[in-house]
Amino acid sequence: MRASNNINGKNIHISGAEKIVKKEDLKNICACLLERALSHSKGTPDFINIKIEPVKEENILILKALPVTNIKTNNHKEGRQILVSYLKKLNVKHIDEILKIWEQNHSMRGAILLDCETLERLEENKERGIRVTYMDINSNNSDDCSTTKKNHFQEALVLATKVANHPNIIAEICISDDPDYVTGYIASLELGYIRISTLKKYGNPHGGRIFLFKGGKQEQAECIRYLQEQRVLVEL
């Protein structure tokens, strides 16, 4: 599902969500997604799109959720230092430049895919970014809307697990674009999901994601395909 608002001719993203469910649960899940689109703190959308596609069970990759580490920080500056320390642990170069690129790009629907050696952005559409799709938690619970209610942490863990499991992704860093959600993370297969309690100032409406890529040209295309198309269910 995706919901947006057209403000002065500009398309502003309000809400989006992905589900992989059994056919018999479709009706209920669609109603839940609609409810989610209509109750976002960013406002009432004037456009909602719910797209439904069949998925073959044998095409679904099942992944184990990344292990989670919680780090308490008192303010966003402290959070930033923690983030940098983990990037150093991963031997990432050009950290200042990477953080600048990450912070200068707001209101994208997707993420920046950055070659962390050349600092080249690899998305075809740089305004939109790469949107990771076709993923969900592996759960049987669809009797109510509990699996479609916005749960920043759980959705991020699903996305981060999918992203980190690509062999050419070194790390992901993320901050919500929700003004009142200041917890962010850095994730990688090696580090797991490192949750940093304060990574931006309360009230700041800017956020975004950046995926750090390392590899050759051919691997780039394969990585983009994986991020956008591989069906993934994540076991918590």
Binding residues (CB under 6 A) for ligand WAQ: these are 108, 110-111, 129-132, 152-153, 156, 159, 174, 176-178, 181, 183-185, 195, 207-209
- Closest contact distance (angstroms) between CB of 181 and Mg ion is 7
C-beta closer to Mg ion: residue 103 or 178? 178
> For residues 204 and 228, what is the distance between their CA atoms, to the nearest angstrom?
28
Q: Which does 131 bind (CB under 5 to 8 A by kind): ligand WAQ, Mg ion, none?
A: ligand WAQ
- Identity of the residue, 93 or 236, whose beta carbon is nearer to ligand WAQ in the bound complex: 236
Decide if 150 contacts 157 (C-beta within 8 A). no
Whichever of 97 and 127 has its CB closer to Mg ion, that residue is: 127
Nearer to ligand WAQ, 156 or 232 (CB): 156
* Burial class of 41 by CB neighbour count within 10 A (0 to 12, 13 to 18, 19+): exposed
| Phi and psi at residue 3, to the nearest 5° | -130, 140
Q: How far is the CB of 43 from Mg ion (least distance, A)?
A: 12
184 binds, among ligand WAQ, Mg ion, none (CB under 5 to 8 A by kind): ligand WAQ
Residue 128 CB, nearest approach to ligand WAQ (Å): 9
**Which residues would be at the binding site for Mg ion (CB under 5 A)?**
177-178
State whether the Cα torsion 151-232-24-109 is positive or negative.
positive
Query: How far is residue 180's CA from residue 172's CA, in Å, rounded to a whole number?
Result: 21
Nearest in space to 6 (alpha carbons), one of 42, 36, 46, 35: 46
